[in-house]
Amino acid sequence: MGWSTFLIGGGWDGTAVAAVYGPFVRAAAARAAGRVPRIGCVVLDEGDGPAQFARYEPVLRAAGDCAPVPVLVPLGGRFAPAAVLDGVDGVDGLLVCGGLTPAYQEAFAADAASTAALLAERGIPYAGFSAGAALAARDAVVGGWRADGVAVCPEDAGEDLDEVAVRPGLGLVPFAVDVHAAQWGTLPRLAAAVAAGRVERGVALDEDTAVEVTAGAGEDGGAVVRVAGLGRAHTVHRAADGAGVLVRSYGAGASFTVSG
């Protein structure tokens, strides 16, 4: 049985807090073993970092007894995993927040391998909100709204990129991730990336929806993915005959297994 990663598709509906954030906070509490868990909230600071952290802090506290702490990374800066995840001042859970996904990817890229290794070695649960969820993949879909010049999602969802972009992520889950699926119309972007062979498979998350991904928990050694929240998780993989992709949607309480 492996450890769990928590992915959140965005959204701020207060009625979803317990379902969406509760499992992550409980995992951090289990790691803290009797202490109030410290949860590091990584925010890409574009000048409003403290204000952005202030949005997440009450949500986490509402989900369970915890002590959120801000981890502000300046735009163009790098996330320093050892400073946050290791030692006596290390956190018991890591939440990577939302914002401009390509910028988050750049902040983590140089130390992605060491970040993933420290999370696993220290048993620290990871949660990603929007950009943080996309970043959890090995091959991260970070934005774009056109595939070979053809529009596949609204331009406003492009994250300041034109063509769909896939860049190295943290490799915490065995599939690519897209977010705000129903609200921003991003499911076709993920489908385009899978159809083109740029990612092997993917999961698109609606807002106020989370999945808990437990590595090695499936009968075949694959990851078990459990869905919670108000929306749906949509899986995308190539059809067996190679002609197009297959999409399946799962609501709260459902689970599925992803091999690899």
pLDDT in tens, 138-167: 999 999 999 999 999 999 999 999 999 999
Contact 195, 244 (CB under 8 A): yes
* Residue 181 backbone phi and psi in degrees, to 5: -60, -55
Euclidean distance between CA atoms 144 and 92, whole angstroms: 34
Q: What is the pLDDT of residues 99-127, one digit of tens each?
A: 999 999 999 999 999 999 999 999 999 99
The answer on pLDDT for 46 being more than 50 is yes
Q: What is the DSSP letter of 14?
A: G
Q: Is pLDDT of 93 > 50?
A: yes
Give the lowest-confidence range in 58-67, 105-114, 131-140, 217-226.
217-226
> Is the per-residue pLDDT at 238 higher than 50?
yes
In sign, the C-alpha dihedral spanning 113, 119, 125, 127 is negative
Quote the pLDDT of residue 260.
66
Tokens standing for residue 110? 């140089």
> Is residue 196 predicted with pLDDT exceeding 50?
yes
Residue 147 and residue 129 in contact, taking contact as beta carbons nearer than 8 Å: no
Is the pLDDT at 1 greater than 60? The verdict is: no
DSSP letters, 106-123, are HHHHTTHHHHHHHHHHHT
Task: Report the C-alpha gap between 199 and 218 in whole angstroms.
Answer: 22
pLDDT at 2 over 70: no
* Domains in the chain, CATH or no CATH each: 4-258 (3.40.50.880)
* Count of other CB atoms within 10 angstroms of residue 12: 10
Alpha-carbon distances, residue 79 vs 85, 87, 225, 239 (angstroms) = 11, 16, 27, 38
Relative orientation angle of helices 17-32 and 49-63, to the nearest 10 degrees: 90
What is the rounded end-to-end Cα distance, in angstroms, of the chain?
A: 14
Q: Which of 247, 47, 20 is nearest to 133 (CA)?
A: 20
**Alpha helix (H) residue ranges in the chain:** 17-32, 49-63, 81-85, 101-109, 112-122, 131-135, 181-184, 187-195
pLDDT value of position 65: 98
What percent of the chain lies above the pLDDT cut of 90? 91
Give tens-digit pLDDT for 166-181: 999 999 999 999 999 9
